[in-house]
Structure 1
Amino acid sequence: MTTTPPLPRGRTRLHVVQLYSGGSTATGVHVRSLAAGLAARGLRVTVCAPRAAERRYRFAETGARFAALPSPAHRDAVARLRQTCGDADLVHAHGLCAGAVAALAVARTDTPLVVTWHTRPGGRGAAVRVRRLTERWVARAASVVLGATSDLVERARLRGARDARLAPVALPSPRTPVPPGSTRYGTGQATLTPSSLRAALRAGDRPLLLAVGRLAPHQGHDTLLTAARSWRGLDPCPLLLIAGEGRDRAALQERIDRERLPVRLLGSRPDVLRLLGEVDLALVAARWAGRSLIAQEALRGGVPLVATAVGGLPELVGDAAVLVPYGDAAAVAGAVAALLADPARRAELAAAGQARAATWPTEDSTVAQVLSIYDEFTHPPR
């Protein structure tokens, strides 16, 4: 992150508590980036998070104080947070669970509560009803709800938020230091350099496709496997690489073996950015996605992207990617085949992607926007 200006002289040094209870890598990276930027601007920042999150993101190295917090479901979570927030000027919770704990902790106080919604909760049956009620309660308890995408802002308004605003989360700059033992996508050290990837996969001159995400139903991997059937007829046949782990791994591998699909499950990878540098296309087939990290990294790196037209993806990529309906394997297969057969179109998308990425908010502009919101609630106009 670039150096940001300190607070003006005479401005009270605010104490802001950032609450991260776990969740996506994108959320954890954002909290770290925000903590660093706010501390650089002169705020006193405390990050409350599980110890595992501190080991991964090293919040204490940003200039913020780290305070360990148990899981939101732990009976002591609210009391521990209330104690930490005793002298806080504002609490900023990231995610629905963190928002619920924070709302309880600041209840019956005048401490402003900012809640950022980064993703849309999933689930089925009774779980959906419980989450809807929780969303409604958190939305109404918050001084303001910030949505990472426009559909999340609208969702907060529908749940009764008194104030809901769009606050896109910045993709960290390639120059931003990554915490030791951590990357934007996972932990550990890279095992392959770009030059050795094709040799390790024995891919030869085959086109390489990359999808990244937890091996779970909502990521749309089954759709990609169905699309892969038709790629067997292409010459050369592209090879789909899927980076990620999850409960569906065994089922996906069984299908790949049974149908002899040109797909490799790579498992959890710390070197996704290196992989992106070697592939021909990136794919996002999710049921819902906000400011997808892999989509952003693909566009910024000039890798053509095929993605589902869901959630925040259309507003994120604009015309710089090929968008297809969720669950439509034929559309995915057709888009991939068309791009592989058209180098000029791939080059056009690569250039458009990098131009689009240049318009996204930076870490500095994100910090500035958040700080201006804090000012509204901690330094109201006279």
Structure 2
Amino acid sequence: MSPVSSNAPHGQSPLRTVQVLGGGNVASSAHVRSLAAGLVARGVRVTVCAPDEADHAYGFTGVGADHVHVPRSSDPASVAALRAACADADLVHAHGLHASFRAVLALSGRSTPLVVTWHNRARVEGARAHLLRLLERRVVRTAAVVLGTTSDLVDRARRTGARDARLAGVGLPGPRRTAEPEDPDRLRPKARAELGATGRPLLVAVGSLDKHRGYDVLLDAARAWCRLDPVPLLVIAGEGPLRTELQRRIEDEELPVRLIGRRDDAGELLAAADLALLPSSWESRSVLAQEALHARVPLVATAVGGIPDLVGDAAELVPYGNAKALADAVVRLLGDPARCDELRQKGARQAASWPTEDETVAQVLSIYDELTQPHPL
């Protein structure tokens, strides 16, 4: 095997890695792009196996990686395509449970080391939950190392039988984190005016319109702040299967809420907001939470999954499913500028403690090194 090195010694090929992504959510897809960029910059050959639409959206080839189209499906043709892409790999790194299971199938009979990163927890019930547990067990018992983005994911991997499970450092990719508006003082009122929030507080939530996001609870909470003067406007950016149901509730109950669809300018929306809201039933390293703290926007979030470890004391945390607690936290913060300033300062300090992209790549490279370098007997 080739040693992990940004400058491979004379006569040795650079390390060859395959990153497997099943389409992925925003966090895992952005992480794979960031990881690919960092690995390529250090002389590692990277092939990303993912659906074409993922490459179009995240530009893996734009950072120097090769891309092979592999559909999300685990049918024989997709597994065969992945197996062919992994034929000359020194190491395969799969992201997410279903991508990991496809990698296990594709590597069957081979000694290629497999690293798995769990970015999130699958949300299924009934018979599918049993199937999920079987898939998890097969994956973690095959993988050389399982990385979890939260401590509870690491614990879950260990309980399921992982030989080696570790907490993963996942730095928020730079372009969305570091890009500063050319004139924030001008753009903020413009963004608020376009959203219809001139002269009133603006609350922002970002994420797919799925059941686990807790938007039903958020709409329940929105009724409570209708009594405020001026009435805050809640803007939800995202698309999903619950859009029609949520829109019907907004209209029937005359709630001060706007669904604005999927947006590419989430950072600008947050920068214009008075508060960011995260009412989910479970999150790992929420991109919204990270961007809110980086943007110095006070955050109200549910105390679930990896959120408490991620934000520390730099956000107002409430129980999931408790509309009154959520509404009370929002009303309290809107009436307490000093507490908002305190959260902004704490948020900046907390964000500075998170791993950077370089630190994330360094951790992954050290694991690749463990698994590929020959060790003396």
Per the normalisation by structure 1, the TM-score is 0.92
d(CA) in 1 for partners of 2:178, 2:77: 34
Q: Residue 7 of structure 1: CA displacement?
A: 3.8
- Corresponding position of 1:41: 42
Q: Residue 143 of structure 1: CA displacement?
A: 0.7
Q: Residue 176 of structure 1: CA displacement?
A: 7.8
d(CA) in 1 for partners of 2:200, 2:23: 38
d(CA) in 2 for partners of 1:297, 1:203: 21
Q: Say whether 1:272 aligns with 2:266.
A: yes
Q: Secondary structure, in 3 states, of the residue corresponding to 1:330? A: helix
Q: Secondary structure, in 3 states, of the residue corresponding to 2:172? A: coil
Where in structure 2 are the equivalents of 1:1-382 lying within 5 Å?
A: 6-7=6-7, 9=9, 13-174=14-175, 194-382=188-376
8 A Cα contact 2:177 2:291, kept in partner: no
Output one character per residue of 1:145-166: Cα deviation in whole Å (capped at 9) or x when no partner. 1001111101111111111000
Letter in 2 for 1:265: L
d(CA) in 1 for partners of 2:289, 2:251: 28
Segments of 5+ residues of structure 1 without an aligned counterpart are 179-191
8 A Cα contact 1:223 1:329, kept in partner: yes
d(CA) in 2 for partners of 1:76, 1:127: 23
d(CA) in 1 for partners of 2:244, 2:82: 39
Letter in 2 for 1:302: R
Aligned length: 365
Q: Secondary structure, in 3 states, of the residue corresponding to 1:47? A: strand
Output one character per residue of 1:128-148: Cα deviation in whole Å (capped at 9) or x when no partner. 111111111111111111001
Q: Secondary structure, in 3 states, of the residue corresponding to 1:291? A: coil
Q: Residue 70 of structure 1: CA displacement?
A: 2.2
For residues 368 and 349 of structure 1, do their structure 2 counterparts lie closer, same or farther at Cα, with a shift above 3 Å needed?
Answer: same
Q: Residue 204 of structure 1: CA displacement?
A: 2.5
Q: Residue 346 of structure 1: CA displacement?
A: 0.1
8 A Cα contact 2:201 2:232, kept in partner: yes
d(CA) in 2 for partners of 1:55, 1:155: 33
Letter in 2 for 1:286: S
- Corresponding position of 2:183: none
Q: Residue 199 of structure 1: CA displacement?
A: 2.2
Moved more, 276-285 or 203-212: 203-212
Output one character per residue of 1:169-210: Cα deviation in whole Å (capped at 9) or x when no partner. 1101247899xxxxxxxxxxxxx9533233233323111101
d(CA) in 2 for partners of 1:340, 1:177: 27
Letter in 2 for 1:226: D
RMSD: 1.7
d(CA) in 2 for partners of 1:272, 1:237: 23
Letter in 2 for 1:373: I
8 A Cα contact 1:149 1:168, kept in partner: no
d(CA) in 1 for partners of 2:211, 2:53: 26
Q: Secondary structure, in 3 states, of the residue corresponding to 2:317? A: strand
d(CA) in 2 for partners of 1:29, 1:342: 35
8 A Cα contact 1:198 1:204, kept in partner: yes
Output one character per residue of 1:2-40: Cα deviation in whole Å (capped at 9) or x when no partner. xxx934646751101111111201111110111111111
Moved over 4 A (4+): 8-12, 175-178
Letter in 2 for 1:26: A
8 A Cα contact 1:72 1:98, kept in partner: no
Letter in 2 for 1:118: H
Letter in 1 for 2:136: E
Letter in 2 for 1:15: R
Letter in 1 for 2:147: L
8 A Cα contact 2:234 2:256, kept in partner: yes
Q: Secondary structure, in 3 states, of the residue corresponding to 1:287? A: coil
d(CA) in 1 for partners of 2:106, 2:198: 57
d(CA) in 2 for partners of 1:94, 1:72: 15
d(CA) in 2 for partners of 1:95, 1:253: 31
8 A Cα contact 1:36 1:63, kept in partner: yes
Moved more, 207-216 or 68-77: 68-77
For residues 306 and 175 of structure 1, do their structure 2 counterparts lie closer, same or farther at Cα, with a shift above 3 Å needed?
Answer: closer
Letter in 1 for 2:276: A
Output one character per residue of 1:229-269: Cα deviation in whole Å (capped at 9) or x when no partner. 11011122111111111111111111111111111111111
8 A Cα contact 2:169 2:359, kept in partner: no
Q: Residue 105 of structure 1: CA displacement?
A: 1.1
- Corresponding position of 1:189: none
